[in-house]
Each structure stands twice: as C-alpha cells, then as structure tokens.
C-alpha cells in the first residue's frame, strides 16, 4: 500500500492540536473555564508574517495513520537480524527508553541552576566514570554529539596538546582500513592525511608505520578491532613507536563492542578514543541518529578536553565546569591550569543518550558486559565458519575474527556483484550487510551479527546467505534485478543525484 506525502493529504486549514485554555480546566462538575485574557497588541517590531508558509497539517487520527503506515516500509532490528558490519545493530532495551523519559531527565533545561540538576550531573559523571573504567583511560570528554564529532574532539585534543608544547606537526597517518570518517576528521582539524598500507593478513604494516614516523607526524588514527574484523595484535608496539616519535595515538572506538570487558585500550597505549554510545552501549539508531560520542583521553591529553565537563570533588559533589570557572576549578582541584581547547557544542552533550547508556552498563554489569564482547565475537566466528566453502573469507586464514566477519565476491559468476547479492538478501527478509567496505577487499561484505542474536536466528540467516551466495556463484540472473518483494524495486540513485529533488513542490503550481 502506498502512502502519499503529507503535502498531498494535508491541508493548511487542518490542525491536530487545540489551543483553548492556558493549561486550566477547573471542573468540580460544572464550572466553565475563563476565556483567555485579551491579546495585547503585537510587539513583533513590524516583522509580522504576512505570506502563507506552506505547512499543511493533519488531524491526530490522520497523523498517527500516516506515520504508522510509513514506518512499515522500514526494516529494523525489531523485525529481524541487521547484519550491517561496523554499525553494531544490536537490540535496544526498552527499559532504557522508559528511563530516558523520566521527568527529571527529559524535562530539565540545560541552563537550570546547578542545584536543581544535581541528579543529571551525577548521571553524566557516573557514566563518565564507567567509560574511563572500561577503557582504562584517565579522562573523558562527554559533550561530542556523535562518533565523528568525537573523532574531531580527539584530534583537536591532540592538536591542542602539541600546540601547548609549541610543537607544530602537520601530518596524521591513517591506515588503509580506517573508517572513512577518520581522514575527513583529520582534514577538518587542519591536518594533512597520509595512508599507511595493510599487511596481506589484514593488519597495519608496523614496519611501514615506523618508517614513516618523524617530527612532522602529529599522530595516527587507528581502528581496533580494525575494519577487516581483526584485532591489531601490534597495538602496543604501534603506540610505543608513535609515542617515541612524539606523536599521539587516536583509536576509532566504533568497534569497542568486540572487546569491552576483555581488554582496555588504555593498556595498549591509546591516547584518545571515541565511543559510539549507539553502538556498544545500545542507544537506538533511530534511522540515523541521534548519536553520542564521548572521547576517553589519556593522562597526557586530559587537560586539553573541551568544556563543559563534570567533576566529582572529594566531598562527593558533582560540579559542572564551564567557561566561567574552568580556570579556577582546575587550579583548586587539579593543581594546575586546565588547557581546554574550547567548546564543541552548546550545552552538555547528549543527556538522552547518557541515561540510556548508563542503564545499559548497570544492567549488564561486570559479567554481562564481558559476555557482550564474547557473544558478539562468538556469533561472528560462527557465521564466518558456517559459510566456509560458500563465501570467500580473505582473512579467514588469519585466525578467528572479532565481532564481524569479512567476505569477498571471489567466485561470483561474471556480471554479478556484491550489490546484487545484497539486494537479493532483502528478498530473503534480511537487511544487507555492509558492502564494498573495507576497500582493501574486493567486493567486500562485512557481516556483524552482534551478541543479541540467538543461535536460531543466526542459523536462519546463514541458510539465507548460503542460498543467495550459491545463486551468485551459479550466475542466477534474477539477482541482478533484486529486490523483487521489498516496498520498492531498485531505486535510481543516479537520477536522484543528477536532478536533485530535495523538497516537495506542488505539481499543480509547476
């Protein structure tokens, strides 16, 4: 069933809200409320709107139906396994949704006097405490709004630290298998980006890295576990080499899900790492956000983190430190000037995600969080090995994978591609895996089942994947036109980019 656009069914004269009393309804059976006080004349300074805006409305019944019907054209974790590698589509606990909506969290203004938001500050500080604890780091910047924002924050910390010691370095090294966000971030922070190659077994080439290090290198950005699904065995050696050369180590924490509770990045010499709360800590993806990207920092970088931040002093009180008191607070409590690099956003970060992530951590606890990593890795290896002989796993010989299994398109019949297989998977009732990433593998397919899938769900998925893989190898031409049973057939993305239609225009007016 097709659902028209709001603009095709709404009316300028329709509204799904009522405005009648200023929040008063006095009953005792029979009393009529007072009519509202008369409006004084407008004080809009002559800027009153005169022209129509063009915003159609719907009544509540129509609204609920419109969006309910729209929603049913989406795939979601609640409907089935979502094997998108590097995206960690795990279950979103419903308890966390309930908690985020408690009035003391949802209905508090960011600029309320701190005495009226002590609980909110405690949430931030408690989450900060556990993030530091789980990563073995020294400090954390909580305000970054998403993973990429966190990356930027980490790189800016590095830059600020280097500047503070008068060391103007210009280059950030990024391995081939890095997330695409990494080079973009480094460039945004004003750095030149240079690639470091991968070894044939899918890890950073330590020797090549060492060879490139020097006084112009501000740091490296590394993803660990990397995008080939492998743990960087040489991480400590890499860190040591970078530190020795006077640089810093940034670790992309998008894949922290694989190692939480098993190894602490701080123990491997990492200086900064962002944590995607919507991945490891399961805040809902929501069709593309909001995210939240706190950045844990080493002792060397901690003084340079952005404002505002929270800190618990010896008396147990959690403080909110902003521009005004950053200097004096640092002097009093940390015994030195705090060299923050500034502010990355208005207000204090993604409170709505903090409450959910903290609930997630407390729910899983010391045993559960470790189990998260173990089950995530177990599930990925189970998928990897169950497809032995069906799909090519280029790094299969390198040993067990971490939380994602990487396959290539080797052996597909001529003219059939990873894209075709992915779209055929839709017809089997699944969201496709990540495609063509990492770039180091031809026609890459990156499958991340996550720990919240049951063995039965994996078995069913493996059957489906095996079936489409065999069809791809056998040259089944129907794959080329898949999906056949989705709400839409393949969409013309070229047309969309060539002649962008980015807003609805009334065809009657065209």
Partner 1 sequence: MRYLPLTDSDRSAMLDVIGAPDIDALFLDVPEEARISGPIEGLPMHASEMAVEKHMRRLSKKNLAAADAAFFLGAGAYKHHIPASVDHIIQRGEFLTAYTPYQPEIAQGTLQMLFEFQTQVARLYGCAVANASMYDGSTACWEAVAMASRIARGKKRKVVLSGALHPHYAEVVRTMAKFTDDEIAGAPPSLTAKPDDEGLIARIDEDTSCVVVQYPDILGRLPDIAKIAEAAHERGALLIAVNTEPVALGAVKSPGELGADIVVGEGQSIGVGLQFGGPYLGLFAVRDEKHVRMMPGRLCGETVDAEGKRGFVLTLSTREQHIRREKATSNICTNSGLCALAFNVHMTLLGEKGLRRLAMENHRLACLAADRLAKVPGVKVLNDAFFNEFTLLLDGDARAIVRKLTKQNILAGVSLGRLFPGNDGLTNGLLVAVTETTTEEDVETLAAALEEVLA
Q: What is the dihedral of CA 145, 150, 155, 159, to 10 degrees?
A: 40
Q: Which of 5, 12, 60, 207 binds a second copy (CB under 8 A)?
A: 60
Q: Which segment (206-214, 254-262, 405-413, 463-471) binds partner 1 by CB under 8 A? A: 254-262
119 interacts with partner 1 by CB under 8 A: yes
Q: Where does residue 342 fall: left (phi above 0), alpha (psi -120 to 50 degrees), or beta otherwise?
A: left
Distance CA 375, CA 348 (A): 33
Distance CA 283, CA 278 (A): 4
Give whichever of 65 and 192 is closer to a second copy, judged by the CB atom.
65
Q: Which segment (53-61, 103-111, 170-178, 253-261) binds a second copy by CB under 8 A? A: 53-61
199 binds, among partner 1, a second copy, none (CB under 5 to 8 A by kind): none
68 interacts with a second copy by CB under 8 A: yes
126 interacts with a second copy by CB under 8 A: yes
418 interacts with a second copy by CB under 8 A: no
Distance CA 368, CA 451 (A): 11
389 interacts with partner 1 by CB under 8 A: no
Distance CA 372, CA 360 (A): 11
Distance CA 361, CA 353 (A): 12
CB of residue 202 to a second copy, shortest distance in Å: 30
Q: Which of 108, 311, 326, 457 binds a second copy (CB under 8 A)?
A: 457
Strand partners of residue 320: 310
Distance CA 271, CA 266 (A): 7
454 interacts with a second copy by CB under 8 A: yes
Q: How many residues bind a second copy (CB under 8 A)?
A: 35
Q: Which of 28, 42, 336, 509 binds partner 1 (CB under 8 A)?
A: 42
24 interacts with a second copy by CB under 8 A: no
Give whichever of 20 and 48 is closer to a second copy, judged by the CB atom.
20
CB 202 within 8 A of CB 394: yes
452 interacts with partner 1 by CB under 8 A: yes
CB of residue 37 to partner 1, shortest distance in Å: 6
Give whichever of 71 and 112 is closer to a second copy, judged by the CB atom.
71
Nearest Cα to Cα of residue 364 among 450, 258, 264, 281: 281
Could you give the strand order of the β-sheet that contains 405-407, starting from the edge strand earlier in sequence? 405-407, 445-447, 434-435
Q: How many residues bind partner 1 (CB under 8 A)?
A: 221
331 interacts with partner 1 by CB under 8 A: no
DSSP sequence for 130-145: HHHHHHT-SEEE----
Q: Which of 81, 84, 222, 444 binds partner 1 (CB under 8 A)?
A: 84
Q: Tokens 């971490």 appear where?
A: 402
Distances (CA, A) of 159 to 164, 340, 428: 8, 11, 48
Q: Which of 23, 24, 28, 51 binds a second copy (CB under 8 A)?
A: 28
Q: Tokens 């705090």 appear where?
A: 338
Cis status of the peptide bond prior to 173, with omega within 30 of 0: no
11 interacts with partner 1 by CB under 8 A: yes
Nearest Cα to Cα of residue 150 among 181, 192, 187: 181
Kindly write out the interface string for residues 69-108 of this chain, putting x where it contacts a second copy by CB under 8 A and - elsewhere.
x--x----xxxx---------xx-xx--------------
436 binds, among partner 1, a second copy, none (CB under 5 to 8 A by kind): none
Q: Which residues bind a second copy (CB under 8 A)?
A: 1, 9, 18, 25, 27-29, 59-62, 64-65, 68-69, 72, 77-80, 90-91, 93-94, 126, 129, 316, 362-363, 429, 452-454, 456-457
């Amino acid at each position: 069933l097709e659902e028209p656009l709001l603009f095709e069914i709404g009316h300028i004269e329709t509204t799904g809200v009522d405005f009648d009393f200023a929040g008063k309804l006095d009953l005792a059976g029979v009393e009529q409320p007072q009519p509202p006080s008369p409006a004084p004349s407008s004080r809009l300074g002559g800027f009153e709107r005169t022209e129509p805006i063009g915003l159609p409305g719907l009544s509540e019944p129509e609204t609920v139906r419109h969006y309910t019907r729209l929603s049913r054209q989406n795939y979601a974790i609640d409907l089935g396994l979502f094997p998108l590698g590097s995206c960690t589509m795990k279950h979103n606990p419903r308890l966390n949704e309930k908690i985020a909506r408690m009035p003391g969290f949802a209905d508090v203004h960011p600029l309320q006097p701190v005495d009226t938001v002590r609980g909110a500050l405690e949430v931030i500080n408690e989450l900060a405490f556990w993030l530091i604890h789980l990563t073995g780091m020294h400090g954390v910047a909580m305000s970054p709004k998403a993973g990429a924002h966190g990356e930027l924050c980490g790189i800016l910390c590095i830059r600020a630290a280097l500047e503070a010691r008068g060391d103007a370095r210009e280059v950030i090294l990024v391995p081939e298998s890095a997330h695409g966000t990494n080079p973009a971030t480094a460039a945004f922070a004003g750095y030149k980006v240079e690639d470091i190659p991968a070894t044939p077994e899918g890890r950073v080439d330590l020797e090549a890295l060492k060879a490139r290090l020097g006084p112009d290198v501000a740091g490296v950005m590394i993803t660990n576990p990397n995008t080939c699904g492998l743990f960087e065995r040489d991480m400590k050696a890499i860190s040591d080499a970078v530190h020795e050369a006077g640089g810093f180590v940034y670790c992309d924490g998008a894949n922290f899900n694989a190692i939480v509770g098993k190894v602490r990045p701080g123990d491997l010499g990492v200086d900064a790492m962002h944590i995607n709360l919507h991945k490891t800590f399961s805040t809902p993806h929501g069709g593309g956000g909001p995210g939240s990207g706190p950045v844990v920092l080493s002792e060397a970088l901690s003084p340079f983190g952005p404002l505002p931040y929270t800190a618990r002093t010896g008396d147990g009180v959690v403080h909110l430190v902003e521009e005004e008191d950053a200097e004096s607070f640092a002097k009093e409590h940390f015994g030195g000037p705090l060299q923050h690099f500034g502010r990355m956003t208005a207000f204090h970060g993604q409170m709505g995600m903090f409450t959910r992530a903290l609930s997630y951590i407390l729910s899983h606890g010391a045993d559960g969080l470790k189990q998260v990593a173990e089950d995530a890795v177990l599930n990925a290896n189970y998928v990897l090995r169950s497809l032995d002989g069906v799909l090519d796993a280029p790094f299969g010989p390198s040993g067990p994978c971490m939380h994602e299994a990487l396959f290539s398109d080797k052996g597909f019949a001529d003219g059939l591609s990873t894209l075709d297989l992915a779209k055929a998977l839709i017809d089997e009732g699944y969201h496709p895996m990540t495609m063509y990433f990492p770039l180091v593998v031809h026609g890459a397919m990156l499958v991340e089942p996550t720990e919240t899938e049951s063995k039965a769900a994996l078995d069913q998925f493996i059957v489906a994947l095996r079936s489409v893989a065999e069809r791809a190898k056998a040259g089944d031409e129907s794959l080329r036109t898949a999906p056949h049973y989705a709400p839409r057939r393949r969409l013309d993305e070229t047309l969309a980019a060539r002649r962008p239609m980015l807003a609805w225009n009334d065809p009657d007016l065209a």
